[in-house]
Amino acid sequence: MSPDTPRADNDRGRIVPFRRRGKPRPNGPPSGDHETPVEGVEKYGSAGEPDNYRQRMINNGMAFGACVVLVLIGVWIANTMADMRKKQECVLSGRRDCASITTPSAGPTK
């Protein structure tokens, strides 16, 4: 059948079921009486304890603060590396005036 020829309405393809090797799987939805490979999440739920909203918000604030500090440190390191790269490229190109020299202002002295 060439790709240009129209297909019949009843020729829509077919579904090929793939089965795992080993124990045959029953058809239909899983029943609640067999063992599942994943445990329930009930043990992670609250065990009757009241939710400590204040402590949770404090922990969230501390985590946010730690993330901000890490971002600021990363930006500082990136700027330092860029400055060092500029100085290194200047020195390797043979120039002698690569160091930045701070000069006092030419204003009047007291």
What pLDDT shows up at residue 102?
A: 79
Assigned token pair, 27: 């058809």
Tokens 């939805």 locate to 29
What pLDDT shows up at residue 51?
A: 80
In the predicted model, residues of the chain with pLDDT beneath 50 are: none
What pLDDT shows up at residue 98?
A: 82
What pLDDT shows up at residue 33?
A: 57
Read off the amino acid at residue 80: T
What pLDDT shows up at residue 26?
A: 59
| Residue 20 φ/ψ, nearest 5 degrees | -75, 150
The CA distance from 91 to 96, in Å, is 7
What pLDDT shows up at residue 109?
A: 67
CA distances from 65 to 12, 36, 69 (A): 58, 41, 6
CA distances from 74 to 23, 78, 84 (A): 53, 6, 15
